[in-house]
Structure 1
Amino acid sequence: MARAPEAPDILSPEFAADPYSSYRVLRDEFPLLWHEPMQSYVVSRYEDVQRAFREPAFTTRNYDWQLEPVHGRTILQMDGREHAVRRALVAPAFRGRELDEKFLPVIERNSRQLIDTFRAQGRVDIVADYATRFPINVIADMLGLRAQDRGRFRGWYTSIIAFLANLSQDPEVTEAGLRTQREFAEYMIPVIRERRNNLGDDLLSTLCRAEIDGTSMSDEDIKAFCSLLLAAGGETTDKAIASLMLNLLNHPEQMAAVRKDRDLIPQAFAETLRFSPPVHMIMRQPAEDVELSGGAVPAGSTVTCLIAAANRDPQRYANPDSFDLFRTDLPTKTAFSAAADHLAFALGRHFCVGALLAKTEVEVGVNHLLDVMPDAVLEPGATPVEQGVFTRGPASVPVRFTPVA
């Protein structure tokens, strides 16, 4: 008689080493799992995660304890008119003409500056030398902050991400995150106040002058949004670029197709968001009792939505464990909007406000990398591995290439 499978433990070393095997077991056998150490219900099927992101019964009140201690109160915690107004204040900077005319040059300049440091070397670690630096440099530049402070931003960003991913509640990680919140506030509030008196053409000035129906953002609002942008914008784009490049390097025929037709980059990015998303889980808190696959979840509970498990649900995608930028069941046209089919940017009213910024950064970055190393291959003997549980991406992508003039 076959033994019944055991429920995977999200906090175990085995899960961290290979979450995808555990995701299959969770989807098949434990679609609704109570995880005692995290005090959370875990859902893994596409239909359940999609519902948790779209239906109003699932609130973001979990961010009161998950995000607010390190960021301050952010747009992610807000509902109703408060959320609609705050989103309307910040959203225009991340789309359309504002993005194309004001920030695209900033993105391109920062990408080229990083690539110039290794273009003649013939080898690079895409993670350490490019991906971990590029989005943070872009965000600091967009905000009009001093280039010499970028090292501090990277340190704060690393500490914030560790706090958010601290599922085991390590006290040292918690303290480092709280310390970062204080240090970031001490740095940003004086900068915001100075910028209000000397408005320019940067994102910080845009946030300072933004107003809708007599509502504008306070210094604390802006500081919290900048902290959120630093973490969410940095971590996701960092891991998306590294994962996309690794996926293509691991599939030479698809890499050749993208080199030949750069218009395929958005498709490769959308498939990367499905196949190996930067964020593997997001939490929600239902305001009422809800029925999901496998049972009921009581009001006020924490629900951990396994994005990466849902994105490989065979009930939704054909051959879900295969990377295929040409797949027909993942529309690219809507992949970077609230109508997206994959779940990597969430859905509904809390769909990622920076999705188009991320798309622009990834397209610019991948184009520039392919320009400078058209024959790139993984270093002989290298076997890149993913790291992380809450967020996840390759720890290193060492590449060798022939330098191009």
Structure 2
Amino acid sequence: MTTATAPDILSAEFARDPYSAYQVMRESHPLIWHEPTSSYVISRYRDVARAFKEPVFTSRNYEWQLEPVHGRTILQMEGREHSTKRNLVASAFRGKDLAEKFVPVIARNSASLIDGFRASGSVDLVADYATKFPINVIVDMLGLPTSDHALFHRWYTAIMAFLANLAGDEEVTQAGLRTKAELEAYLLPIIAERQANPGGNLLSIMCTAEIDGVRMTDQEIKAFCSLLLVAGGETTDKAITSVMRNLVAHPDQLRAVREDHSLIPAAFAETLRLTPPVHMIMRQPAEDVELSGGTVEAGRTVTCLIGAANRDPEQYTDPDTFDIHRPDLDLSRAYTAGANHTAFALGRHFCVGALLARTELEIGIAQLLDAMDDIRFTDGSPPPEHGVFTRAPQSLRLTFTPTA
């Protein structure tokens, strides 16, 4: 369905304010053929949820979208291969392994970064904390040298730029491909060493995990590390920034979370709904599919607008309002494949690192609130968001009173 007045997801106007465009799309243009990205764009909650849940919607799009920069990851896999390879890594991101092995790593990295600015009474939370915290955690979880934190941050930035390069900038593309080669040259010898001498780190777990005689290949382990670097870094980075921005902009809710840290998962879930880190994920149907507004032909790419679906008034009351006590957001399932928001996708390709992200947010936000009192926007008002594929403030300057 092509309409001249439909919003263009690559326009400067859309980048400034996608939320107004999302409303127009949901109401008048629920299915748009977008020529520059050669994809159908969908925006209603029920359509996006179908694209994530129904088996007819495959992840074949990742063959051209992700494979050039990551290699073949579990996101490109379907059926038994997907479930087996996913299960090989999933245990490290939940339960005993997460609690015993990696929670101390998360807490240590967060505290170290906070110690770097807490006495000053001011911080750019993006530059001084959010962009560093998840990457440092991932490097340490993998059991790699802490001296390589900056190197991984550079690789993460280049890969993320590649994935967000909807306009096809050739320099960005080439930088991403160089990064793939550099990361492969770095990791493959370490993977071989861990297979021979495994330890208790995440990389060793992936090197030795086995189900019914099936293990991950060296290339699959390398690809998952690359994917983890971006998926775990970008979402957590932007989520921390947006959670703090949303809370500081709503002092009553900030006060409630400060007084009761058990509300942090609710603040995170509501942020995922209202201002998600990732605004679009693609799928590719294996057969013709009827969606709101028309038919998507088999093999076509579908751009699923998470940011639009999560503000659909047919799904949520007062959807443009931040409310950590929202009754129509199911907190009991907010970090599972059965969530009723779409920020982590849904169904079989639900984000394998969702509980890791929740753990990082719980620890990080709690430590930030414990270290910072009377938090205010340095410039007096919330900073604007930036980005189209992923979105959050580029800077979050806060002034605060250091706690004793």
TM-score (norm 2): 0.98
Give matches, 1:351-366, under 5 Å. 351-366=350-365
Q: Tell me if structure 2 keeps the 8 A contact 1:387–1:393.
A: yes
The correspondence of residues 3-402 of structure 1 with structure 2, limited to 5 A, is 6-402=5-401
Equivalent residues of 1:283, 1:303 under 8 A apart: yes
- Ranges of 4+ aligned residues in structure 1 off by more than 2 Å: 380-383
Contact 1:374 1:401 in 2 (8 A): yes
| 2: CA distance, partners of 1:52 / 1:6 | 25
C-alpha contact (below 8 Å) 1:382/1:398 kept by paired residues: no
Decide whether the 8 Å contact of 1:32 with 1:43 is kept in 2. Answer: yes
Inter-partner Cα distance in structure 2 for 1:147 and 1:254: 36
Using the TM superposition, give the Cα deviation of residue 383 of structure 1 relative to its aligned residue in structure 2, in angstroms. 4.1
Contact 2:379 / 2:397 at 8 angstroms: preserved in 1?
no
Q: SS of 1:374's equivalent?
A: strand
Query: Cα offset for 1:374?
Result: 2.2
* TM-score, normalised relative to structure 1: 0.98
5+ long unaligned stretches in structure 2: none
The answer (yes or no) to whether the contact 1:259–1:374 under 8 Å persists in 2 is: no
Alpha-carbon distance between aligned partners in 1 of 2:54 and 2:216, rounded to the nearest angstrom? 28
Distance 2:279 2:381 in 1: 25
Gaps of 5+ in 1: none
Per the alignment, do residues 259 and 5 of structure 1 end up closer, same or farther by CA in structure 2, a change over 3 Å counting? Answer: farther
Q: How far off its partner does 1:376 sit?
A: 1.2
Moved more, 241-250 or 197-206: 197-206
Aligned partners of 1:213, 1:350: CA distance in 2, in Å? Answer: 22
Aligned length: 402
Residue identity over aligned pairs, in percent, reads 66
Residues 57-99 of structure 1 deviation map (CA, whole Å, 9 limit, x = unaligned): 0000000000000000000000011001101100000000010
1:404 deviates by 2.0
Give the aligned residue type for 2:176.
G
Kindly indicate whether the alpha-carbon contact (under 8 Å) linking 1:40 and 1:301 is maintained by their aligned counterparts in 2: yes
Shift of 1:191: 1.0
CA distance in 2, matches of 1:191, 1:385: 41
Answer yes or no: is the 8 Å Cα contact 2:74–2:85 preserved in 1. yes
Structure 1 CA distance for aligned equivalents of residues 191 and 353 of structure 2: 21
The Cα shift of 1:293 comes to 0.1
